[in-house]
C-alpha cells in the first residue's frame, strides 16, 4: 500500500469538480502566477496550450509497457498496463509538476530522492501524492504530482508512474487517427502532433527532447518495434515476449513509437554500416509487398544522396514499420517511420528527409510545421530529379500550377492555425518556398545555409524566424520580404 492520495474519480459527479479545477489551469501563465512553485500545466504553444508543462526538462523516459491487443478484431479495444520512469531536471523551484496523460488511470507514483541517478534503487523511492484532472470536452487530462521535499532549480529527480487503461482509436483535433491506435493485430503508434499522451505521461512539447528506453511486453508471436536499436534479443516467459529498444538520440515526444503487429524483421545497412531495421507486417502481401520491398531496398542509396547534400545522417539507426493496417498517412517516427499498408519510394524519401528536417531539428512551435513539410516535400523533388524522373524546376512549376488551379494562396503557412497543420498548402507552398529560396540566394548559399541550420539546431528545436536568420547570414542578403511573400502573404508571390 502507498499513502498516495487519489483524487481522480471516474464518476460523472467528479467531472464537475474536475472541470472546476481545470478552470485554474486553462491559462498556463495565469496558473504560474497563482502558485509560483507549481510547474505550469502547458508549454505555451498557441495551438496546444495544455500540451507540455513548465518548470522542468525531461532527460530520459524509461517505458515498460504490457500490451494486450484486441481479443475481438471487430471491437478495436486493447489494454495497456505500464510503468513510466522519468528522469528530469528542474528548471524552476518546484513543489509540484504536471505531465500530460490521457485515457489512463494512474494507480501509483513514486519519487526518487533528488540527486538519484539512472541506477536508482527501489529503496530510495518514496510514494508521492498525485491527482488527475480530466476534461474530455477540451481534451485535457493532466497528472499533477506533489514533490516533497521541493525540487530546487538545477536538481534532477526520477519519478515512477504506474498506470493502465483501455486503448482505442484516438483522433487528433481534425479527426485523423493518431496516438496509440489499436489495430486488429496490435497497434500503430503515431503521435503527431499531441498524441504521445495517449500512451505515456509526457512533457508533450517538441522543445523538450529526451532519450528513451522501451520494454514492450506482448503476447508471444507478436513483434513490438520502437525507435532506435534493439537491446538484446526478445525474451519470452509464460506466453509473453518482451522486446527492448533503446533510443539514444534525443527525440521529441511526437516522434516516439512502440508499434505492435505481426511484423517480420529484416536488416540492411546504410552509409558507414549504419544499421537499418525494417518491420513489415505479415499481412502485407502481393503487389504492395513487392513494391514495398523494392522501395525499401533504395533506402541506403537515398541516405547517401541526402548525406552528401545535407551532412551525415543524424541518428544511430534507420528503417521502416510497414503495417497492414492504416491510419491514412505515414509518419517520420525517429529512426523508424511508420507506413500504412505499403511504403512507396517517394513516401520513404519524404520520411527519410524528415530525419534531418523535423527530427534532428524540430519545430519550436506547431505553427512552424511548414519547416518540416516544406523541406520533406522538397526532398521528394530532389530524389525524383536524382532518379531522372523530373527536374526540381518542373516539380516546382507543377506545385505552383496546382496551388493556382485550386486557388490555395490565401493561407499563411507560417501560422496556418491548429487544424491546418497537414493541409495541402503546407506541403506544396512549403516545398515551393524552399525552391524559391534556393533560386533567390543561389545554390552555394542555399546548401551552406541548410547545413548551418542543421548544425546549429541539431538535437534541438527552432522557429521560422531562426531559419530566416540562418539563411540571411549564409546569403548576406535581407530576406524579410522574401519570407513574407512566400509564406505569409495571401497572394501568389512573384515567381523566380
Ligand atoms: N507528418 C506526416 C507526414 O509527413 C503527416 C501527418 C501527421 C498527417 N498527422 C497527420 C497527415 C494527419 C494527415 C493527417 O507525412
Ligand atoms: Zn511530412
Mean pLDDT of the chain: 91
Residue 490 pLDDT > 60: yes
Atom of ligand 1 nearest to the CA of 351: 4
Instruction: Give the residue, by CA position, lying nearest to ligand 1 atom 4.
Output: 331
| 374-391 tens-digit pLDDT | 999 999 999 999 999 999
Query: Does the Cβ of 380 fall within 6 Å of ligand 1?
Result: no
Element (H, E) at 224: strand 223-226
105 within domain boundaries:
yes
d(CA 256, CA 227) in angstroms, rounded, equals 6
495 within domain boundaries:
no
Per-residue confidence (pLDDT) for residue 139, from 0 to 100: 81
454 within domain boundaries:
yes
Q: Are residues 405 and 446 in the same domain?
A: yes
Q: Are residues 291 and 224 in the same domain?
A: no
Q: For the chain, what is the domain count?
A: 3
Set of cell numbers at residue 182 = 489499436
Per-residue confidence (pLDDT) for residue 8, from 0 to 100: 27
d(CA 138, CA 178) in angstroms, rounded, equals 17
Instruction: Give the residue, by CA position, lying nearest to ligand 1 atom 2.
Output: 331
- Which long-range contacts (C-beta less than 8 Å, at least 24 apart) are formed by 242-245? 242/215, 242/216, 242/217, 243/214, 243/215, 243/216, 243/217, 243/218, 244/213, 244/214, 244/215, 244/216, 245/212, 245/213, 245/214, 245/216
Instruction: Give the residue, by CA position, lying nearest to ligand 1 atom 9.
Output: 192
Per-residue confidence (pLDDT) for residue 18, from 0 to 100: 36
What is the b/e burial string over 117-147, where b = at least 16 CB atoms within 10 angstroms of the residue's CB?
A: eeebeeeebeebbbbbbbbeeebbbbbbbbb
Residue 438 pLDDT > 70: yes
Q: Are residues 200 and 291 in the same domain?
A: no
| 425-436 tens-digit pLDDT | 999 999 999 999
d(CA 375, CA 372) in angstroms, rounded, equals 6
Q: Are residues 162 and 198 in the same domain?
A: yes
Indicate which CATH number applies to the domain containing 303: 3.30.2010.30
| 308-335 tens-digit pLDDT | 999 999 999 999 999 999 999 999 999 9
Q: Are residues 350 and 382 in the same domain?
A: no
Structural domain that includes position 18: 3-258
Residue 12 pLDDT > 80: no
| 229-251 tens-digit pLDDT | 999 999 999 999 999 999 999 99
- pTM comes to 0.92
Atom of ligand 1 nearest to the CA of 354: 4
108 within domain boundaries:
yes
Query: Does the Cβ of 303 fall within 6 Å of ligand 1?
Result: no
97 within domain boundaries:
yes
Chain centroid to Cα 248, Å, comes to 15
493 within domain boundaries:
no
CA of 376 to the centre of ligand 1 (A): 12
User: Which residues contact residue 467 at a Cβ distance below 8 angstroms, ignoring those fewer than 6 apart?
Assistant: 371, 453
Indicate which CATH number applies to the domain containing 48: 2.60.40.1730
Q: Are residues 40 and 117 in the same domain?
A: yes
CA of 391 to the centre of ligand 2 (A): 21
Instruction: Give the residue, by CA position, lying nearest to ligand 1 atom 3.
Output: 331
Per-residue confidence (pLDDT) for residue 259, from 0 to 100: 98
Atom of ligand 1 nearest to the CA of 172: 12
| 289-311 tens-digit pLDDT | 999 999 999 999 999 999 999 99
Query: Does the Cβ of 421 fall within 6 Å of ligand 1?
Result: no
Query: Does the Cβ of 422 fall within 6 Å of ligand 1?
Result: yes
Query: Does the Cβ of 329 fall within 6 Å of ligand 1?
Result: yes
CA of 150 to the centre of ligand 2 (A): 41
CA of 123 to the centre of ligand 2 (A): 45
Amino acid at each position: 500500500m502507498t499513502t498516495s492520495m487519489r483524487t481522480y474519480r471516474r464518476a460523472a459527479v467528479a467531472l464537475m469538480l474536475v472541470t472546476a479545477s481545470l478552470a485554474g489551469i486553462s491559462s498556463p501563465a495565469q496558473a504560474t502566477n497563482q502558485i509560483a512553485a507549481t510547474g505550469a500545466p502547458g508549454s505555451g504553444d498557441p495551438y496546444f496550450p495544455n500540451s507540455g508543462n513548465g518548470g522542468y526538462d525531461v532527460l530520459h523516459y524509461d517505458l515498460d509497457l504490457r500490451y494486450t491487443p484486441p481479443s475481438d478484431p471487430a471491437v478495436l479495444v486493447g489494454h495497456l498496463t505500464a510503468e513510466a520512469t522519468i528522469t528530469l531536471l528542474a528548471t524552476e523551484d518546484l513543489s509540484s509538476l504536471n505531465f500530460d496523460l490521457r485515457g489512463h488511470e494512474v494507480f501509483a507514483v513514486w519519487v526518487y530522492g533528488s540527486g538519484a541517478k539512472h541506477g536508482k534503487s527501489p529503496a530510495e523511492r518514496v510514494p508521492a501524492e498525485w491527482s488527475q484532472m480530466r476534461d474530455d470536452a477540451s481534451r485535457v487530462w493532466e497528472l499533477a504530482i506533489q514533490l516533497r521535499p521541493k525540487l530546487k532549480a538545477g536538481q534532477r529527480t526520477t519519478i515512477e508512474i504506474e498506470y493502465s487503461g483501455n486503448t482505442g482509436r484516438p483522433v487528433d483535433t481534425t479527426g485523423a487517427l493518431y496516438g496509440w491506435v489499436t489495430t486488429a493485430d496490435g497497434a500503430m503508434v503515431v503521435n503527431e502532433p499531441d498524441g504521445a499522451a495517449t500512451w505515456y505521461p509526457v512533457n508533450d512539447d517538441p522543445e523538450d527532447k529526451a532519450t528513451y528506453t522501451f520494454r514492450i511486453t506482448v503476447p508471444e508471436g507478436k513483434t513490438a518495434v520502437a525507435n532506435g536499436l534493439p537491446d538484446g534479443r526478445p525474451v519470452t516467459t509464460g506466453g509473453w515476449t518482451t522486446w527492448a529498444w533503446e533510443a539514444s538520440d534525443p527525440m521529441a515526444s511526437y516522434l516516439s513509437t512502440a508499434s505492435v503487429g505481426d511484423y517480420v524483421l529484416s536488416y540492411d545497412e546504410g552509409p558507414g554500416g549504419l544499421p537499418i531495421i525494417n518491420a513489415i507486417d505479415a499481412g502485407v502481401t502481393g503487389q504492395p509487398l513487392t513494391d514495398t520491398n523494392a522501395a525499401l531496398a533504395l533506402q541506403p542509396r537515398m541516405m547517401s544522396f541526402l548525406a552528401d547534400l545535407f551532412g551525415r545522417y543524424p541518428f544511430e539507426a534507420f528503417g521502416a514499420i510497414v503495417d497492414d493496417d492504416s491510419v491514412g498517412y505515414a509518419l517520420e517516427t525517429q529512426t523508424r517511420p511508420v507506413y500504412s499498408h505499403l511504403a512507396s519510394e517517394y513516401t520513404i524519401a519524404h520520411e527519410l528527409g524528415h530525419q534531418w528536417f523535423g527530427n534532428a531539428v524540430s519545430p519550436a512551435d506547431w505553427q512552424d510545421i511548414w519547416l518540416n513539410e516544406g523541406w520533406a516535400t522538397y526532398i521528394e523533388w530532389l530524389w525524383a530529379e536524382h532518379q531522372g524522373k523530373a527536374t526540381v524546376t518542373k516539380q516546382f512549376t507543377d506545385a505552383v500550377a496546382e496551388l493556382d488551379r485550386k486557388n490555395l494562396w490565401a493561407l499563411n503557412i507560417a501560422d496556418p492555425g491548429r487544424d491546418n497543420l497537414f493541409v495541402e498548402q503546407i506541403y506544396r507552398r512549403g516545398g515551393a518556398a524552399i525552391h524559391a529560396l534556393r533560386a533567390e540566394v543561389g545554390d552555394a548559399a542555399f546548401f551552406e545555409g541548410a547545413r548551418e541550420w542543421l548544425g546549429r539546431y541539431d538535437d534541438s528545436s527552432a522557429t521560422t524566424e531562426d531559419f530566416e536568420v540562418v539563411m540571411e547570414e549564409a546569403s548576406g542578403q535581407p530576406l524579410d520580404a522574401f519570407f513574407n511573400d512566400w509564406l505569409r502573404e495571401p497572394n501568389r508571390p512573384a515567381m523566380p
